[in-house]
Structure 1
Amino acid sequence: MRWFLALCAASCVVVSARAADPAKPTAAQLEYFEAKVRPVLADHCYSCHGPKKQSAGLRLDTSTGIKAGADDGPVVVPGDPAKSRLIKSVKRENELAMPPKSPLPAEAVAVLVEWVKSGAALPAETAQGPAVDPKKHWAFQPVRAPLVPAAPNPKGESRNEIDAFVGAKLAEKGLALAPRADRRALVRRAYFDLTGLPPTAEEVEAFVKDAAPDAWARLVDKLLASPRYGERWGRYWLDVARYADSKGYDLTRERAFPFSYTYRDYVVRSFNEDKPYDRFVTEQLAADLLPLGADKRPLAALGFLTLGRRFLNNQQDIIDDRIDVVTRGFMGLTVTCARCHDHKYDPIPAKDYYSLYGVFASTNEPAELPLIGDMPRTPEVIAFEKEVETREAAIVAERDKRHAATVAKLREPAAVAEYLLAVLDTRDARGEEVQNLLRQRDLTRLVYDRWREFVAAEVKAKSAVFVPLQALAAVPEKDFEAKALAALPQSTNPLVAKALTDAKPKTLKAAVDVFAKALCAAPPAGTPSKEQAEVARALAKGGPTDIALADAEKIQNRADRDAIAAIRKKVDTFKAASPHAPPRAHVLADNAQPTQPVVFLRGNPGNRGPQVPRQAPEIVTPNRKPFTQGSGRLELARAITSPENPLTARVMVNRVWLGHFGHGLLRTPSDFGVRSDPPSHPELLDYLASTFVREGWSVKRLHRAIMLSATYQQSSAVTPEMYKLDPENRLLAHQNRRRLDFEALRDSLLSASGRLDLTEGGKPVDLFKAPFSARRTVYGLIDRTSLPGTFKVFDVANPDTHSPQRFQTTVPQQALFLMNSPFVQEQAKSLAARKEVAAAKTAAAKVTALYRLALSRNPTADELALATRFVAGDDPKSAFGAWPQLAQVLLLSNEFAFVD
C-alpha cells in the first residue's frame, strides 16, 4: 500500500493555478448586486442616501459611499450580517430603524442579508472624466472585416489570417508565437477539444507517423465528422441554455420535464449537422412559426425558452429568465438589469426590457405537447397509451365533477346574495377598487362580472325583478327599515314583492338575502306563470351561473385546483418516467391576442407605467419597427440573426474561441457591455465574426479555421520572459494548459475502463446511482431541485441560470472523489481487467498495456521499473489489489486530467 501512496503523491491531480483573489468579486456576485441589491437600495434608500441627500453622511448609490459608510463609521461588514449596521437597521434591531416610516419588505431584507453574507461585493467605480456615449462602445458598432496585417513569420511556417492578427500583437511586445506542440500533444488536444474523449494509443501513433502535409487537417475533419463532436459541443451550449431535466420547486405539478431530453438531442444533432447558426438561433425562438415540413424534430428547439426554472410559477420571474437567456445567450446583453430601472451602464432603457417582456407574455405553453417522432407499436407502447388515456380521463372526470359542484354552490341563495350585494356595493367603483372588494369577500371575478352585466341588462330592459333591487339599493341605510318597502315600484314582480313584504328586511343585506331566496326557489311543477318565469330567468340557461366547462379553471377554489393538480401530477410523473412515451417537444404557442406591454415602474406589476410596443432593443436594431406577427418571436429572431446586428456573430465566435483556448478573446462571454474589459484582439474578433457570417454561419468551418492556425497548435510551455510580459497569456504567446471539465474527465474514465456506452440520445440517466451508468455524461440527469454534490464539487454549470463559462476551483473533495468514490474504483478495476491487460504474459507487458489504455502511450523505462516492483507482491485474492491500485494511480495522474 505504501507504494500506492508514494505513486499517488507523485501523480495525483494538482492544479497549477494561483488561488483566486478573495478581494476581487466574481461575475456572479456583481450580477447579484446589480440585479437584486441595487434595485432594493434604489427603491427604499436613495431618497435619503443618494446623490441629492446623504443623511448621516451615508451615500448608498456609489460603491465608494457604501464602503465609506456614515459619519460615524462603516455600515457594512462584508461576510457578517450580524455586525453590519445596515442589516440591523433594515431588520429594525437597533435605534435607527430604516426605512423610518415603514419596514422593508421581508424579501428585500433577505436580499441585503444574502449580499452581505456572501461578501458585500461591489462594482468598481468608473473613472471620472468626460461623459462617453455608451452607444459608441465598440461592441455596438457594426462588424467590419478588417485588413489582415502583414505579421512577421521568421520561421517560414504555414500560417493563416488568425496568426497574422495574433503575431502582430505579439510583435508589439517583442514576442512571437511559441514553437508547435509535439504531435502527441496535438492529437490529444484535438480529440479532447472536439470530442471530449481521449485518443487511443493506436490513434496517437498513427498521427505521429503520418508525415503527409495535410495530416493535421485530415485529423480535424475526421473529428468534426464524428458524432462525438455534437455531444461535446452540445454540452457547452446546454450551459448557455441553462438546461435541466426538472423545473425546480413546483408545488402543484410534476417537477420533471417529461421530454426535456428532446431539446438536448436537438442541440447535439444540430452541432453534428453543422446547422447554420442563424437557423439554430431562429429555431430556438420560433420553430413553431417556421415551415418545417414533415420533420417536426426542430420543434424541440423551443426547449431553449421553456426548460428554465419555474420560480414557484411566478410569471414575471419566468419571463425575466427567458429574456435573460435570450439576450445574454445570443447577444451578450445584460437586458434584465433594466427590469426595475434603465440599465445603469449600457444603453438599454426599461422600455426595451418591457418590449421584450411583451413578446414572451404573448405566449403560452400548451397542455398537449406536439409529437416529434414515432415509437414502434409494441405491446408496451400500446399499453402506455391506454394507461395515459385512463389517467387523463380521470382528470376530466374530476374536473367535471368539481365544476358541477361549484356551479351548484353558486346557485345557492347565500352565493347569489353575496354576488348581488357586491354588484350593488360597487355601482360606482372601477378597477383596483372592485378587485380589492372581491379579494376581501373571496369572490370570483368571472362570476361577479357575469352578475354585473346581467343585472345591468335587466335594469336597462326595465325588468320587474331587478329594477326593484336597484331601487332598494338607493335607499339610505339609516332609513332602510322605514322606507325600503315603500320604495318598491308598483311594477315589482309579485313573487319578489310578497317575499320582501313578508320578511320586512331591516338592512339592504337582509333584503338581498330575501331577494336571492326568491330567485333560487324551486319552480313549481307544470308550466310556470309569467311572474315565475321572470324570477327563474336569473338562474336559467345563459344566466350568470351558467358557466361553461371552458371557464372551469376561472371559478375553481384552491381545494379544486389542488385536487385536480394532484391527479395531473400523477399523469405527468407517469409520462416522465415511462420509457415508452413517444418523444414530444416542450414548445411555446402564441396567444390568440398578443399582450400590449407596459412598463412596470420599479419592476412592480401593480405600478403600471406607459405602454410600449413589442420590439427588439434599439441598440442592436436602430431602424426597428414594432412587431406585428403574433407575439413577435419570429421577428425577434430575425433581428437577432440579422447580419447588421453587431453582437450575435461576435458573441458566438467568442464562445467557440473560449472552447479552444480556455478564455475568450473577450473574457466576459455573455457581457459585451460597456463595463466589460475590451477584447484582447478586437480586429481578430471582427475578422472571425465577419467571416463566420460570410461563410454561412458554419460553426464547423470556424472550428477548422481556428485549429489550423499556428496559434492553436502552439506548445503550452511558458518561458520566464513570456510569463513576465503576459502572465495571463492575453496575447496568446503560447497555448493554455487546461484541466478536463467533469464531463470529459468522467467520460475519459469510462473510456479507459473499456465500459463507455456510446448510445446516442434518449431519456436522461442517473449517473450516481449504482449500478453506475456507462453513458456519456452529457446524457446524465440534471435535477435542479437536487443537483448532485459531485456536479457542484467539479464546477458543473448551475442550471438555475444562464452560464457563460465554467468556474474552475481546486478543492479537496475533487481529489477525495477520485481516490475514494466507488465509481472511480469500479473503473480502475475494469481497466485492470481489460483483455489487453489480462492477455499479457508478463508483468512488464501488463504494465505497458495499462499505460497504453490509460495514457495512450508506452511507459518510460523508469515508470515500467517502478510499476513492476509495485505489483510484484500482488495478492490475487485481494478485493482491490495491486493491479487495480496501479490503474487508479494512472487515472488520477495529471497527465490523465490535463490537456497540454
Structure 2
Amino acid sequence: MNISLPSRIAAVGFLIVCATLSVSPIHAVQPSKDELDFFESKIRPLLIDHCYECHSTESGESEGDLLVDSAAAIRRGGAGGPLIGGRDADKTMLMRVIRYDDRNLQMPPDNKLSDESIGLIQRWIEMGAPDPRQENSVETTSSPLDRDPATHWAFVAPERAVMIPDANQGDHDLVDAFAAARATEAQVDLAAEAPGETLVRRLCFDLTGLPPTKQQVDSFVGSDAPEAYTRLVDRLLASPAFGERFGRHWMDVARYADTVGYALGGKERRIKGSDRFRDWTIHAFATDMPYSEMIRHQLAGDRTDPENKSGNLDAMGFLTIGRRFLNRYDTWDDRIDVITRGLQGMTVACARCHDHKFDPIPASDYYSLLGVMQSSSEKADGPSPLMMVDKDPHDTHVLLRGQPGNRGPMAPRQFLTSLRKPDEPKFDDGSGRLQLADRIADPTNPLTARVMVNRIWAQLIGKPLVDSPSDFGFRTEPPAIPEILDDLSADFASHWSVKRLVRRIVMTRIYRQSSTSSDAVQRSDPENRLLTRANTRRRDFESMRDALLMVSGSLDRQMGGEPVEITMSTPVPRRSVYAMIDRQNLPSLFRTFDFASPDAHSPMRYFTTVPQQALYLLNDRQTSELARRASMAIGREAKSSDLDDRIRTAYRQILQRAPESNEIALMREFLVSPVSPLLATADPRSRWSYGIGDVNDDFSVKKFVAFKVFAKGRWQASGVFPSKDANGYVSLGKEGGHPGNSKGQSAVRRWRAPASGTLRVIGQMGHRGEKGDGIQATMLVHGRSIFTEKQVRNNRPFGPLVAQVQEGQFVDFVASPGKDSSYDSFFWRSRIKLTGSDGRVYEADSVKDFSGPIDTDSNKQLDRLAQLVQVLMISNEFAFVD
C-alpha cells in the first residue's frame, strides 16, 4: 500500500501516540480478567487497524523506531516520548490528538476515529491501560488451541451428584448436604434459619421484585402449618409478577433497549416493536416456557413460529434489539457476542481479529458464526418487526486482523470447536440459525445449563457460584463447591423448567439462612464462598422504585404495552420493567442506581454506594409525592389520631414489621416537633407551557392555545390521539413532538423569563424520520425570531443563541409542518441560561423541566407524618432485602 510522505509522517505520529499507551507505570496492580478482556475485544483491534501496518514485527515495519505489537514494545515507546502519564485521560496528549483538539496534530491523519473508538481508548487509559501481550508471544508461547477442552471443568458435561452418606437429615436438598459438608471441613458453622418476617420479604423480593403486603406477612408469620413456606413459594411462582421479575433479569442479558443508540445518525431511533420482545420475555417466564424452547425461539423464531401465531417470532428481538452500528460488522459482532456470552458463557467476540489468547476459540469459530449472521437479514414488514429470515446462505472468509479487505481461508458455518463433536456436520439448513439453536439447547451441551443455573443462582442467592457469569473459559476457576453447580445443572438440563429450578433453590436451607453469622465465620469465609450465610443484598433500581409505588398505594399492575417515561416529576404508576430505555440518552437516574448498560450484554449488576442515590431519594419530587400519598393512606388506616398507632401503621406499611419501643419513642418526639418553614422557591416546571400556535409566514406566533390534555407522557389537543380534526398529531413530549396538519397547528413549547437579562440557549434538534419533508424549527424571543431552520432527516446541535429578554416575556420554540404534514415527528432539547441584570443566574432544561399538570399540593412542604414516611422509605432497611 503506497502512502504519501506527509501521510506517512502523520501516521508515524499517530503510532508514536499508540506506542505510549504504557501499562507498567499506570497499572500498578495486576489487571483483572474483565480488564484484559476489554483490551482483547476493544483495544487490540484498534491498534491492529491503525498501527500494525507500519509498527509490528509481522509487517517488518518500525517507523519512528516503534513497535506496538507487544506490551513491552509499547512501554519502550518511540521517538515522540510518552503521551500518557496516568489514568486521567483528559490530561494526556493521546486524547488531545485523537479528539482533533490540536489543529497541527490530528491522528489518524486521514480520518478521525469514531466517537465510540475514542471513548474506548479513554476508558482503557482510565482503567490503567492493561495489556496482556508478551514480546514475540507467537513464537514463544503455546496456543490455548493446543489444550484439550476436556481438561477444563466447564467443558465437561455436568453430572448428578451422589448423596453424602452421613448427610444431616435436616438437609432439604443435595445443595444443603454439600454445603454442610464443606463447612464442616472448614470448621465453620452454617447460619441459622432467618426469621419469618425476613423470609417472606426475601421471597417476595426474589420472585416478584415487590415487597410483601401486610396480609402476606401476617399469614405466613402467624401460621404454624409445616407447609406454609411451600404454599407461599408456589403462590409467588404462580404470580404474573414472577414473569416481570425474571423477564427483567433476562433483559439485562439481552441488552434490551427501545432505541438503537446514537450511531445511526439522522434515522429513526426507536426500535419498532421492542416492547414486543419485552412482553414475550415476561410471558415466557410467567408461563414457564422450557428454556430450551426459549433459546430456539430467540435465535430461530422464523422457523419455530414463522407466522407469529403464538407470538414466538417476537422472541427474535434477542438478536435484533441491540445497537445498530454504522459498520455492519460491528452489528454482527454484537449479535455474536450476545449469543455466545449470553447463552454459552464464552467470549467468542475476542476472536474477531485473532485466535483467542486464553480459550480454545480459533478465529475461524468467530467467522463461522459471522457466516450465520451474514446469511440472515431483518424483515421489518413481516409478521413481527423484530424477525430475521434466511437470505443467501453462505460461508464467509476469516478476515485477517479483523479487516474486511484482508481475506483468509473460508470458515464453514458450524458449531464451536471446543463443543463440536467429531465429524459433526456443518450447518446447511438455511442460515444455520436453527441448527445453532439446537446445538446450544442440546441437553448434552456442558455450558448451556451451567450458565443459566449460575445466573439464576446469582439472582436468588445474591452472588453467582462462578464469579464471571458470562465467561466460563480456561481462566475461570470452578465454584468453591462444584457439586452444587453440577447437580443443579444436570437436573435443569433434564427438564429445562426455570420455575422448577427456582423452586428447588428457594426450598433449600442454604437459601433460608440468616445473613447474620459469627465473627469467626466472617473471618474464615469472608467472601461467603462456602455459603455459610445469606448474602445481604440491596434492592436493584427496578425493585426499589416499584416498592416505593407499592407502599404508597400507587402501583398499576397492568402488564405489557408501549414503554413509558418514568423520569418526569410526577410519579408514573407502571412497573419499572415497562420503562422507556433510551440507549443514547439513558437518564442519569438509571445510571445513579446501577442500571445495566443497554449498550451491550450485561453479565450481572454491580452495586455502588454514591451520594447521588441518597440525594435523589431526599429531594426528588416523585419520592416526596409518594411519601405524601403513603402518609395519607396511613392516616386513613390508623384506628385513631393517636401518634403511636400512626407510627405502628407506618412501620407495617413501609417496612412490613412492628416498630421497637425505642423507635416509637423517637418517632413520637419527631412527630410533635414543629415543622421548620422552607424558603419559597419557584418551581421551574411552572415557567413552561405547551400548546398549539397559529403562526405567520415568518413563523412568529400570532395566537397560542395551551393544550388541555396530558396523556401517555405527552401534551395533546384532545382526549383522542391523533385528533380527528385539523390538529391531527399535534403534540409535545419530553424530548420532542409532532406539529399538526398546517402552520395553524404548529407545536409550541413556551418558556416565561423570570427576570430581565441576557439569554443563552443551546441544545439538540432534528427530524429523524426516513420519510416526509421535515419541519421548520423557529425560536422566538418576545415574537422576534433569533433562529429558524428547516430540519429534514437530521440530528444536529444548535447554539449558542444569545438574545436580550425582559422579565415576563416569552421564549417560544415553534415546530411547524412543511408542505407534507406526514412523518413530522421531531426532537428538540433546549438548555437555557439567563443571566439577570442583577447578576443572578437562572437555568432551565426543556427535558428535565417537562411535566404534566402540576399538582400544587405536591409543591407544599411535607407534614411531619409524611416526613416520617419518607424517612422510612429512604432508610437502609427499606433499601436492603434483609
Q: What TM-score comes out, normalization by structure 2 length?
A: 0.69
Q: Quick one: distance in 2 between partners of 1:790 and 1:60?
A: 40
Q: Quick one: distance in 1 between partners of 2:319 and 2:101?
A: 43
Q: Quick one: distance in 2 between partners of 1:233 and 1:147?
A: 27
> Is 1:824 equivalent to 2:837 in the alignment?
no
> Is 1:225 equivalent to 2:238 in the alignment?
yes
Match of 2:47 in 1: 41
Q: 1:761 to 1:874 in 2, by over 3 A?
A: farther
> Is 1:268 equivalent to 2:282 in the alignment?
yes
Match of 1:635 in 2: 435
Q: Quick one: distance in 2 between partners of 1:152 and 1:123?
A: 49
Letter in 2 for 1:333: M
Q: Quick one: distance in 1 between partners of 2:471 and 2:615?
A: 35
Q: Quick one: distance in 2 between partners of 1:677 and 1:774?
A: 44
> Is 1:681 equivalent to 2:481 in the alignment?
yes
Whether the 8 Å contact between 1:192 and 1:744 is mirrored in structure 2 is yes
> Is 1:31 equivalent to 2:37 in the alignment?
yes
Match of 2:417 in 1: 618
Q: How does 1:422-821 map to 2 (within 5 A)?
A: 584-591=384-391, 593-623=392-422, 624-694=424-494, 696-821=495-620
Q: Quick one: distance in 2 between partners of 1:36 and 1:334?
A: 12
Q: How does 1:30-69 map to 2 (within 5 A)?
A: 30-42=36-48, 44-45=51-52, 60-61=68-69
Post-superposition offset of 1:119 = 2.8
Whether the 8 Å contact between 1:330 and 1:640 is mirrored in structure 2 is yes
Match of 2:872 in 1: 890
Q: 1:293 to 1:251 in 2, by over 3 A?
A: closer
Whether the 8 Å contact between 1:181 and 1:716 is mirrored in structure 2 is yes
Match of 2:193 in 1: 180
Post-superposition offset of 1:58 = 7.7
Match of 1:114 in 2: 122
Match of 1:135 in 2: 149
Whether the 8 Å contact between 1:245 and 1:784 is mirrored in structure 2 is yes
Q: Quick one: distance in 2 between partners of 1:277 and 1:42?
A: 39
Letter in 1 for 2:458: L
Match of 1:78 in 2: 86
Q: Quick one: distance in 2 between partners of 1:710 and 1:129?
A: 47
Q: Quick one: distance in 2 between partners of 1:365 and 1:58?
A: 44
Letter in 2 for 1:845: D
Q: Quick one: distance in 2 between partners of 1:225 and 1:24?
A: 47
Q: Quick one: distance in 1 between partners of 2:363 and 2:624?
A: 54
Report SS of the residue matched to 2:417: coil
Q: What TM-score comes out, normalization by structure 1 length?
A: 0.68
Match of 1:437 in 2: none
Match of 1:167 in 2: 180
Report SS of the residue matched to 2:409: strand
Q: 1:291 to 1:238 in 2, by over 3 A?
A: closer
Report SS of the residue matched to 2:437: helix
Q: 1:271 to 1:349 in 2, by over 3 A?
A: same
Q: Quick one: distance in 1 between partners of 2:547 and 2:333?
A: 38
Q: Aligned to 1:253, which of 261, 267, 272?
A: 267
Q: Quick one: distance in 2 between partners of 1:218 and 1:641?
A: 32
Post-superposition offset of 1:138 = 2.3
Number of matched pairs: 661
Match of 1:507 in 2: none
Whether the 8 Å contact between 1:151 and 1:168 is mirrored in structure 2 is no
Post-superposition offset of 1:201 = 2.4
Higher strand share: 2
Match of 2:633 in 1: 834
Q: Quick one: distance in 2 between partners of 1:254 and 1:600?
A: 31
Post-superposition offset of 1:28 = 5.5
Match of 1:865 in 2: 665
Report SS of the residue matched to 1:630: coil
> Is 1:150 equivalent to 2:164 in the alignment?
yes
Uncovered stretches (5+) of structure 1, i.e. residues with no partner: 1-20, 371-583
Post-superposition offset of 1:142 = 2.8
Q: Quick one: distance in 1 between partners of 2:206 and 2:609?
A: 22
Q: Quick one: distance in 2 between partners of 1:40 and 1:124?
A: 15
Match of 2:814 in 1: none
Post-superposition offset of 1:703 = 0.7
Post-superposition offset of 1:799 = 0.5
Letter in 2 for 1:210: S
Whether the 8 Å contact between 1:91 and 1:109 is mirrored in structure 2 is no
Q: Quick one: distance in 2 between partners of 1:795 and 1:368?
A: 36
Post-superposition offset of 1:153 = 5.4
Post-superposition offset of 1:62 = 5.1
Post-superposition offset of 1:718 = 3.1
Post-superposition offset of 1:813 = 0.5
Q: Quick one: distance in 2 between partners of 1:184 and 1:758?
A: 24
Post-superposition offset of 1:616 = 1.6
Identity of aligned residues (%): 42
Q: Quick one: distance in 1 between partners of 2:549 and 2:283?
A: 23
Whether the 8 Å contact between 1:263 and 1:585 is mirrored in structure 2 is no
Report SS of the residue matched to 2:408: strand
Deviation sequence 1:541-581 (CA, Å, 0-9, x none): xxxxxxxxxxxxxxxxxxxxxxxxxxxxxxxxxxxxxxxxx
Whether the 8 Å contact between 1:151 and 1:164 is mirrored in structure 2 is no
Larger CA Rg, structure 1 vs 2:
1
Post-superposition offset of 1:158 = 3.6
Q: How does 1:372-411 map to 2 (within 5 A)?
A: none
Q: Quick one: distance in 2 between partners of 1:116 and 1:655?
A: 27
Whether the 8 Å contact between 1:135 and 1:347 is mirrored in structure 2 is yes
Q: 1:784 to 1:48 in 2, by over 3 A?
A: closer
Report SS of the residue matched to 1:639: helix
Higher helix share: 1
Q: Quick one: distance in 2 between partners of 1:56 and 1:719?
A: 62
Q: 1:109 to 1:153 in 2, by over 3 A?
A: closer
Deviation sequence 1:584-623 (CA, Å, 0-9, x none): 44111111x2133111221111222222211221212233
Whether the 8 Å contact between 2:634 and 2:646 is mirrored in structure 1 is no
Q: Quick one: distance in 2 between partners of 1:679 and 1:813?
A: 35
Match of 1:435 in 2: none
> Is 1:849 equivalent to 2:649 in the alignment?
yes
Post-superposition offset of 1:810 = 1.0
Whether the 8 Å contact between 2:380 and 2:387 is mirrored in structure 1 is no
Deviation sequence 1:352-382 (CA, Å, 0-9, x none): 1111111111112123131xxxxxxxxxxxx
Q: Quick one: distance in 2 between partners of 1:769 and 1:87?
A: 36
Letter in 1 for 2:316: L
Match of 1:202 in 2: 215
Q: Quick one: distance in 2 between partners of 1:245 and 1:92?
A: 32
Instruction: Out of 890-899 and 40-49, give the one that drifted further.
Output: 40-49
Whether the 8 Å contact between 1:59 and 1:66 is mirrored in structure 2 is yes
Instruction: Out of 45-54 and 671-680, give the one that drifted further.
Output: 45-54
Post-superposition offset of 1:72 = 12
Q: Quick one: distance in 2 between partners of 1:342 and 1:125?
A: 13
Letter in 2 for 1:79: R
Q: Aligned to 1:323, which of 331, 336, 351?
A: 336
Whether the 8 Å contact between 1:69 and 1:75 is mirrored in structure 2 is no
Letter in 2 for 1:270: A
Whether the 8 Å contact between 2:553 and 2:630 is mirrored in structure 1 is yes
Q: Quick one: distance in 2 between partners of 1:586 and 1:289?
A: 14
Letter in 2 for 1:41: L
Match of 1:338 in 2: 351
Q: Quick one: distance in 2 between partners of 1:614 and 1:71?
A: 46
Post-superposition offset of 1:650 = 0.6
Letter in 2 for 1:33: F
Q: 1:747 to 1:50 in 2, by over 3 A?
A: farther
